[in-house]
Structure formats: structure tokens, C-alpha cells
Amino acid sequence: MYSIRIFISTNTPITNCQFLFMKRLLSLDFMRGFIMVLLALESTGFFDHLINATEGNSLNILLNQFTHHPWNGLRFWDLIQPGFMYMAGAAMAYSLHKQKEHGFSWNQSFRKILKRCGWLFFWGVLDYAVRKDGLSFELWDVLTQLSFTTLVAFLIFQWSATAQIVFCVGLLLLTEVLYRFTQIPGFDQPFTNQQNFGNYVDLLLMHKINHGGWVTINCIPTAVHTIAGALTGRLFLQMGKKIQPLLLWAAVCLLLGYGLDLTGITPIIKRIASSSFTLASLGWCLLGLSFCYWWIDILDHRKYLKFFTIVGMNSLFIYLFFEIVAHRWFNGYISAISNGLLSFINTPELLSNTISSLCIFGLEWVLCYFLYKKKIFFKI
């Protein structure tokens, strides 16, 4: 989400930390691009077509990993938003380091972050604002959530790592308290869809409840993802090419997250970001970035990454494009052309729809490539 560009004077000795920072953290660009590619494909209906095509066979079980778990459980697709927020935190650490190198004061950095969070909130609300039956005010978009978690991560960024970890524990405990001990009539079932405290807060804020079970106060526990990302960025900047601490923390988070679920203390529920889900998903995020950092930035395997990094370097633009423009117009327009042409050769409906989805995605990727070649990067 942030551009990382550092210019170091040739008259200044280059330390190991500076050398690491001077090199772009390509693993972060790759992971961000990988997530955006998956989101773009999902927005075209690509995975839905494959799931429908494999219904009733063993491959369908694998493809269902590209859908959210209906409630208690964890699938691959449930890791997309945590990964998005985790990487935003890591990128923020690099951005703040760059600002410090350029002499920014804390107040200047705060104003930049405040402006960024304001825009994230605006675009997040706008994403869901226009409906067929009129305007709507909703706070469930990932950008809206990210506007809160980014601000929290920034405000405690200068704290010690220990203090930040304690703060994260506090956020998870607060989540547990809010769900378990706020006995609101009709909303006193902590882990039941439509009857929990998160649903009650949404009723107060928006006068409605999300039928899928998503809640606005997810931003409280998922702030842990962004804070952890910022801590990871600081770790890379300070320690260089070491991933052992990340692997250790990944093991701790996975053990705690799945342990809370298996013992029946707190179920893993993505839709309300239960504390067990937050920990388990963070563990997978730590493992994912550790592997990518080791493979790409340490072992220097950089071939075949450009397909993803081109998208990752304009992640905010492409997200807003397929969420707003493509969803409301572009997808239908391209599908009509593609399906119409394929109908002349009697293409089966399922294959025709799948090809149309790939055409939509291909055009979106080409758009990102065009912006990349023109060195146009949309940032806020």
C-alpha cells in the first residue's frame, strides 16, 4: 500500500540496515500482488464457476477453500483480509522509516497517516454506498476497517515491541469481554450469528445487521494484524535477513489460536474476528511472509514474480476498480461481449462463463501493467 523508495547519498557510509532498506522488499510486493490477484479473480466469479463445475467430486473440497467458512472454522480464503491488513502494517514500518530518514517530525507523519486513514474510510464507505435501491451507509468494507487499524498501529509504533505485544493482548481480551459479558437482551450469545454483541453495535451504528454475520467491531481485534505487520517491518529493518523470530511467533499464534478453538474456549470465527481466529490467522500470515521473505529476499529467487508485483504496486487502485467499477459495470459489459462471441461456436455455458471471467481479469491486469509502465501509482 505504500511506496518504498530510498535514495542514499554516495558520501554516506551504507550500513547493513540501510542496504536492506535500499533494496525493495520484493516479498512484500509479491504477497500483496498475490492477494490482489486472488481478489480480482474472485470478483469476476472465476472461483464460483469452478466450484459449480466440480460439485460432487473431491476437487470441490479444495476449491471451497476459496470461499469463506460459513461460521466456525478456518479456510484459506479467510486469511485474505488478515493478510491484507498485516502487510499494510509492514509497509507502514518501511514508510515511517523513510520519513524519519528524510527528517519528518512525529506531527508531520501523524498528519500523513490521519489523511490516509480519512481517505481509506471514505473509499470504504463509498464502496458499499451505492445500491440499486438507493444510498446505503455501511462500515464492513476492509478499507474502513483498515482506516482504524492503521491509525492504532501508528499511534503505538514508537512503543517497545514488548509494550505493543501487551497492547495486542489487551485488544484480544477486550474483544472477549465485549462478546461474553455485555448482556444485551437478544444479543447475549457471544458466538451465535445475528445474536452477538457485534450485531448489536451494527444496529446502533447503521440500524441494520449484516445477514452474513460480518460486524464493524472486527476492527478492534484485527488491529492486531496491522500492529504485528508493523512489528515485522521493524524487525526486518533492525535485524536484516533473519526469520527465526517470525517462525517462533507464528508457532505461538497458531498454537494459541487453534488451541482456544479445539478446547472449546473460543471458537475460530472469521466473521466476528474472534480472538482465536485473530491469533490463528496471524500465525498463517507470519508463516506466509517468512517463507516469501526467505525465498525471495534472502535466497534471491526473483523470476516470475512480475506478474504479481505489477498488481501489488497498484493494489489500492485495482481493489477500488474491481469493487466499484467492475462490479457495477465492467464485468457485465465484458461478459456480454465474451459470451456473445463464444455463443457462435456453441460453447458450453460453464466454459463460456469461465473464459469470460479470465477475460475480465486479463484486462484488469493489462490496466495495471499500463500504469506500471507509465510509472503511475495510486496512493493516498
Q: Encode pLDDT of 195-251 as tens digits.
A: 999 999 999 999 999 999 999 999 999 999 999 999 999 999 988 778 999 999 999
Residue type, 253: C
Q: Is residue 13 part of a domain?
A: no
- Which residues partner with 130 through β-bridges? 135
Residue that is last in its domain, among 267, 302, 337: 302
Q: Tell me, yes or no, whether 329 and 183 share the same domain.
A: no
- What's the chain look like in SS3? CCCCCCCCCCCCCCCHHHHHHHCCCHHHHHHHHHHHHHHHHHHCCHHHHHHHHCCCCCHHHHHHHHCCCCCECCCHHHHHHHHHHHHHHHHHHHHHHHHHHCCCCHHHHHHHHHHHHHHHHHHHHHHHHEECCEECCCCCCHHHHHHHHHHHHHHCCCCCHHHHHHHHHHHHHHHHHHHHHCCCCCCCCCCCCCCCHHHHHHHHHHCCCCCCCCCHHHHHHHHHHHHHHHHHHHHHHHHCCCCHHHHHHHHHHHHHHHHHHHCCCCCCEHHHCCHHHHHHHHHHHHHHHHHHHHHHHHCCCCCCCHHHHHHHCCHHHHHHHHHHHHHHHHHHHHHHHHHHHHHCCCCCHHHHHHHHHHHHHHHHHHHHHHHHHCCCCCCC
Query: What is residue 134's predicted lDDT score, i.e. its pLDDT?
Result: 84
Residue that is last in its domain, among 272, 302, 332: 302
Query: What is residue 6's predicted lDDT score, i.e. its pLDDT?
Result: 30
Residue type, 131: R
Q: Is residue 203 part of a domain?
A: yes
Rounded (5°) CA angle 249-254-255: 100
Residue type, 262: L
What's the whole-model pTM score?
A: 0.89
Residue that is last in its domain, among 248, 281, 302: 302
Q: Is residue 23 part of a domain?
A: no
Contact (Cβ atoms closer than 8 angstroms) between residue 43 and residue 326: yes
Q: Tell me, yes or no, whether 337 and 360 share the same domain.
A: yes
Q: Tell me, yes or no, whether 286 and 320 share the same domain.
A: no
Q: Tell me, yes or no, whether 165 and 227 share the same domain.
A: yes
Q: Is residue 18 part of a domain?
A: no
* Number of structural domains in the chain: 2
Q: Tell me, yes or no, whether 259 and 373 share the same domain.
A: no
Q: Tell me, yes or no, whether 333 and 224 share the same domain.
A: no
CA-CA-CA-CA dihedral for 319, 324, 326, 328, to nearest 10: 160
- Pairwise CA distance, residues 56 & 68, whole Å: 19
Q: Is residue 279 part of a domain?
A: yes
Q: Tell me, yes or no, whether 80 and 156 share the same domain.
A: yes
Q: Is residue 134 part of a domain?
A: yes
Q: Tell me, yes or no, whether 48 and 100 share the same domain.
A: no
Q: Is residue 307 part of a domain?
A: no
- Pairwise CA distance, residues 290 & 90, whole Å: 12
Q: Tell me, yes or no, whether 217 and 319 share the same domain.
A: no
Q: Tell me, yes or no, whether 278 and 129 share the same domain.
A: yes
Range of the domain at 351: 29-65+313-380
Query: What is residue 24's predicted lDDT score, i.e. its pLDDT?
Result: 65
Residues of the chain with pLDDT under 50: 1-22
Q: Tell me, yes or no, whether 76 and 54 share the same domain.
A: no
Query: What is residue 7's predicted lDDT score, i.e. its pLDDT?
Result: 31
Q: Is residue 162 part of a domain?
A: yes
Q: Tell me, yes or no, whether 184 and 260 share the same domain.
A: yes
Query: What is residue 11's predicted lDDT score, i.e. its pLDDT?
Result: 35
